[in-house]
Amino acid sequence: MKIRKAELSDSSELFALEQKLFLSKNYPLSRGSFCYHIKNNMLFVAEIDNIIAGYILVLIKRKNAKLYSIGVKEEFRGRKIAQKLLEFSIKKLSSIGFDSLLLEVRVDNEVAINLYKKIGFSIKKNLNEFYLDGCDAYLMEL
């Protein structure tokens, strides 16, 4: 597996993956949003045999870093790709002076919550009715 910075030529494949992974209630990214984030934020892809297996998007705003989205294709799950993308991004953030990372996660997404806790994130706050379907979210911080 290779992790690299996303390129504009990846935007269509990333958009297709996003549509498979996230329902509208989870605020999926548009193709244009991927193009914007490739240029302006930290967007890395994990490749296996030249196929994008997953991605991670970290928003950078002055002194704050926020994990906005992470996704892995279903056929590549179980290979710790999300964990490797997260650890890679945390190292990159650290190398440019960031010492914390925030994220929001659905309270019913136990797989993601367990991964974040394993990495060292802790729950800071419950965000009531954060998602369009009324589901709460946890604000977590590393």
pLDDT one-digit tens code per residue, 14-61? 999 998 988 766 677 888 999 999 999 999 999 999 999 999 999 998
Instruction: Give pLDDT, residue 24.
Output: 67
- What are the structural domains, with CATH classification, of the chain? 2-141 (3.40.630.30)
Distance CA 69, CA 58 (A): 7
pLDDT one-digit tens code per residue, 52-92? 999 999 999 888 899 999 999 999 999 999 999 999 999 99
Contact 141, 101 (CB under 8 A): yes
Please determine, for residue 8, whether its predicted confidence score (pLDDT) is greater than 80.
yes
Instruction: Give pLDDT, residue 29.
Output: 87
Instruction: Give pLDDT, residue 114.
Output: 96
Quick one: average pLDDT of 98-114?
A: 95
Distance CA 126, CA 122 (A): 12
Give me the DSSP letters along 56-110. EEEEEETTEEEEEEEEE-GGGTTSSHHHHHHHHHHHHHHHTT----EEEEETT-H
Instruction: Give pLDDT, residue 25.
Output: 62
pLDDT interval class at 109 (50, 70, 90): very high
